[in-house]
């Protein structure tokens, strides 16, 4: 018996009846030989980790634009924190950890440079709009591996596409079109649990928020440190969900309200802070001018982007290229194109 088969049988015996099983995946868009060692979801996880888009996350903004300090989060460290939180929840609920981790590691692959400011720019100037969760799916489906994509399983692709909730309810409303797996739901909760804690910590480190200025309910219900807050949220969703045992994620009303209040606090005091936003206003100008220049300059398009599929419009190719940029690449390219060069001495 292949090792993969042994691991698949182990899942069938050990995982919850609500867990997604690797042997029961809906499959891939393009059939391919299965790995003899790894079940399908573990194989997907490995493909994501080895992708170029995943490596670029280390130089993409989380909250603060190109921070000089070594301890500020980037989009990559955010992704790793989401993965850790999601795996803890999945293990406690006896869900499929490999599927959970694959979704978590892939959920932000389509994020733009300069964080949500970059996403807002592309959504405004690109025909048909732009959203990072749809772009993340486009990355794994069409852009990676020289245009062949990663050919991930249906369940991982679904979780990546449906991870984003914006400022919507912490837990999915019954009528909302959410992930088809409970593992995908876990990543949604882990994502918000991670960013409301680590964005606050970074804001305090950057002097945007003074320690101790949180809404009282947040500290009372969740705790006074990032570790305590994450522990409170994870413990709550695990205990409430295990107690209900109905295949749906549950959290207590008090924790949901505290999480919502903390998220609102971050929007008001951090994300929409004039000093923080001023950097992103300038960054927005960078992306807008780069986008427009790529559309009208054939030489730049050929040199930087090169040949694209005949099925892809120039606008789409430019959007994909800019969305894939790191912060520093976008700034370097802007300087190379638009800023004057010092005259050399001969």
pLDDT in tens, the chain (346 residues): 799 999 999 999 999 999 999 999 999 999 999 999 999 999 999 999 999 999 999 999 888 776 667 888 999 999 999 999 999 999 999 999 999 999 999 999 999 999 888 999 999 999 999 999 999 999 999 999 989 999 999 999 999 999 877 778 899 877 778 899 999 999 999 999 999 999 999 999 888 888 778 888 899 999 999 999 999 999 999 999 999 999 999 999 999 999 999 999 999 999 888 887 888 788 889 999 999 999 999 999 999 898 777 788 999 999 999 999 999 999 999 999 998 877 766 6
Kindly report the backbone phi and psi dihedral angles of residue 174, in degrees, each rounded to the nearest multiple of 5, phi listed first.
Answer: -55, -35
Angle between the N-to-C axes of helices 154-161 and 97-106, in degrees from 0 to 180, rounded to the nearest 10 = 50
Helix or strand (DSSP H, E) at 262: helix 253-266
Distance CA 72, CA 65 (A): 10
CB 60 within 8 A of CB 326: yes
Domain with CATH 1.10.3210.10 in the chain: 3-275
What's 3-275's CATH class?
mainly alpha
CB 3 within 8 A of CB 22: no
- pTM: predicted TM-score of the whole model, two decimal places: 0.95
Q: How far apart are CA 304 and CA 294, in angstroms?
A: 9
Residue 95: burial class (beta carbons within 10 Å; 0-12, 13-18, 19+)? buried
Closest CA to 136 of 120, 156, 160, 112: 160
């Amino acid at each position: 018996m292949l090792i993969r088969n042994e691991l698949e049988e182990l899942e069938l015996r050990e995982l919850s009846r609500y867990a997604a099983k690797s042997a029961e995946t809906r499959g891939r868009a393009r059939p391919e030989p299965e790995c003899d060692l790894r079940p399908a979801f573990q194989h997907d996880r490995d493909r994501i980790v080895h992708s170029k888009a995943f490596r670029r996350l280390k130089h993409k903004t989380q909250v603060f634009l190109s921070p000089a300090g070594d301890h500020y989060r980037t989009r990559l460290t955010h992704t790793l924190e989401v993965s850790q939180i999601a795996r803890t929840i999945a293990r406690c609920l006896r869900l499929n950890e490999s599927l959970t981790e694959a979704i978590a590691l892939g959920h932000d692959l389509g994020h733009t440079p300069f964080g949500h400011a970059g996403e807002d720019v592309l959504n405004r100037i690109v025909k048909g709009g732009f959203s990072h969760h749809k772009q993340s799916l486009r990355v794994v489906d069409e852009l990676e591996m020289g245009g062949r994509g990663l050919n991930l399983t249906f369940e991982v692709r679904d979780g990546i596409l449906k991870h984003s909730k914006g400022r919507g309810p912490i837990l999915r409303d019954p009528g909302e079109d959410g992930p088809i797996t409970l593992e995908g739901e876990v990543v949604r909760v882990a994502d918000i649990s991670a960013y409301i804690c680590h964005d606050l910590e970074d804001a305090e480190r950057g002097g945007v928020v003074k320690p101790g200025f949180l809404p009282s309910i947040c500290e009372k219900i969740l705790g006074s440190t990032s570790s305590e807050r994450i522990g409170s949220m994870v413990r709550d969703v695990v205990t409430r969900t295990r107690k209900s045992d109905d295949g749906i994620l549950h959290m207590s009303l008090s924790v949901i309200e505290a999480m919502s209040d903390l998220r609102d606090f971050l929007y008001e005091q951090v994300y929409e802070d004039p000093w923080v936003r001023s950097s992103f206003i300038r960054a927005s100008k960078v992306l807008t001018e780069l986008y427009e220049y790529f559309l009208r300059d054939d030489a730049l398009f050929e040199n930087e982007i090169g040949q694209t599929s005949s099925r892809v419009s120039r606008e789409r190719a430019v959007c994909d290229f800019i969305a894939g940029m790191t912060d520093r690449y976008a700034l370097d390219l802007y300087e190379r194109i638009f800023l004057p060069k010092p005259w050399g001495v001969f």
